[in-house]
Amino acid sequence: MKKKPELLAPAGDLEKLKVAIAYGANAVYLAGKNFGLRTRATNFSESELLEGLYYAHQNGARVYVTLNILAHNEDLAELPKFVRWLAAVGVDAVIVSDPGIIAIIKKEAPDLEIHMSTQASVTNYAAAEFWKSQGLTRIVLARELSLDEIREIKEKVEVEIETFVHGAMCMSYSGRCLLSNFMVGRDANRGDCAQPCRWKYKLVEEKRPNEHYPVYEDDHGTYIMSSKDLRTIEFLPDLMKAGIDSFKIEGRMKSVNYVATVVNAYRQVIDEIYEKGDDYSFDEKWFDELSKSSHRHFTSGFYKEKAGPSAQSYDSSHYVRDFEFVALIREVEEDGVTAIIEQRNNFNLDQKLELLLPGGVVKDAKILIMWDMEGNSIVSAPHPQQVLKAVFDSEVKPYGILRREK
């Protein structure tokens, strides 16, 4: 392999940023309290963004801030000040889709690196060349492209290319959708999508308002707009050979368990491909590992062929959850086995648990004894986000993920 691509992870909040980097992300993308396309993620205050930026840079990772809304006039009042602040604190790049916002950035912070968002629907080399001519250094391509089309763009335009490799897909073209706005007044293009494409629909005849008829795509169900999740881990060698510069994982609204599990899997596979080259052979254990985070059924998207009926989930829009996220390891004492952990799902002392550690180690884990923070011995952790102290039967690390099979 000529080069190792960047692994770019979602950071919906400060905790997820630190977890993503601990599990091998080279860069994270996040939003401040405004101007990003995930307003219902926790997102970052200025003080949190400063802390996250410092943590990332101390650990050799980059931070990209999303300013990728399709802006209306009222969105622009506070933007110049925020752009100047981002440049002053040293963020590595901003992700933008609106030409007006690009103009503001060039005026207020001309040295700030700009990446073009997938929201711009760049699907050809002429569009990529145009945005390069405007000073943009990276293009996040539309998700509707095949691998051959991506390869051709990379060959014809000297610009960094970023593509999605894992996570939720949108049934609308590169996320440009008015369905949420029309149905519930929440603007998807300004970060507030209600995901009505995931809802279950029935048909009502005008003169029979109380008679609901199911809308069948086929004999299996009625979820005619709900896309499956993207998964490309099995053909990462092809993506790497195509020269893609950055592999992007979707999921700023997802859990810490999702971030750790998915980033770890892609990190391990990318490193192995880079090390072994043509001798690399995919191990299907990674399918099992990715299934341990909350997900919908998977599709390869548009990479191999145009997405057809098999890319949709007709029977349900619900997530598959074969494993439960039990607890996050916060701190580890010098002995390596005593730790402060934070509960995320009710668990008992005698339950069989699995532990995922930064660096890719997955092993069975047993808690030998645990106490609440007042020093009282306990046998269960029933309270949401309860902080407790535990002794394990083997070494653990900060940001370890405890989970159990359902």
Other C-beta atoms closer than 10 Å to the C-beta of 271 total 14
More confident residue, 123 or 33: 123
**Residue 196 pLDDT more than 50?**
yes
Confidence category of residue 312, pLDDT binned at 50, 70, 90: very low
Q: Do residues 72 and 51 lie in contact, with contact meaning Cβ atoms separated by under 8 Å? A: no
CA distances from 184 to 178, 181, 187, 251 (A): 10, 6, 9, 23
Q: pLDDT of 324-382, one tens digit each? A: 999 999 999 999 999 999 999 999 998 889 999 999 999 999 999 999 999 999 999 99
What pLDDT does 370 receive?
96
Q: What gap in Å lies between CA 248 and CA 404, rounded to an integer? A: 27
Pairing of strands 202-205, 208-214: antiparallel
Domains along the chain?
A: 6-173+227-305 (3.20.20.70), 323-405 (2.40.30.10)
Task: State both tokens at 339.
Answer: 């730790």
What does the pLDDT average to over 95-101? 94
Encode pLDDT of 70-86 as tens digits: 888 988 899 999 999 99
Question: Is residue 256 pLDDT above 50, yes or no?
Answer: yes
- Give how far the C-alpha of residue 398 lies from the chain's centroid of Cα atoms, to the nearest Å: 21
3 pLDDT above the threshold of 90: no
pTM value is 0.84
Mean pLDDT of all residues in 121-144:
95
Mean pLDDT (the chain) is 86
Q: Which of 181, 211, 176, 222 shows the shortest CA–CA distance to 316?
A: 222
Q: In Å, what is the CA distance from 293 to each residue of 38, 230, 242, 327, 350?
A: 20, 14, 28, 14, 23
pLDDT at 33: 82
Percentage of the chain with pLDDT > 90? 65
pLDDT at residue 36 in the model = 65
SS (H, E, C) the chain: CCCCCEEEEECCCHHHHHHHHHCCCCEEEECCCCCCCCCCCCCCCHHHHHHHHHHHHHCCCEEEEEECCCCCHHHCCCHHHHHHHHHHHCCCEEEECCHHHHHHHHHHCCCCCEEECHHHCCCCHHHHHHHHHCCCCEEECCCCCCHHHHHHHHHHCCCEEEEEEEECCCCCHHHCCCHHHHHHCCCHHHCCCCCHHHCCCEEEECCEEEEEEECCCECCECCCCCECEEECHHHHHHHHHCCCCEEEECCCCCCHHHHHHHHHHHHHHHHHHHHHHHHCCCCCHHHHHHCCCCECCEECCCCCCCCCHHHECCCCCCCECCEEEEEEEEEECCCCCEEEEEECCCEECCCCEEEEECCCEEEEECEEEEEECCCCEECEECCCCCEEEEEECCCCCCCCEEEEEC
Pairing outcome for strands 323-332 and 338-343:
antiparallel
151-187 pLDDT, tens digit each: 999 999 999 999 999 887 665 556 556 566 656 667 6
More confident residue, 33 or 196: 33
Kindly indicate the confidence band of residue 91, based on its pLDDT and cuts at 50, 70 and 90. very high
Distance CA 119, CA 121 (A): 5
Give the tokens for residue 364.
Answer: 């069975």
Average pLDDT for 383-393: 95
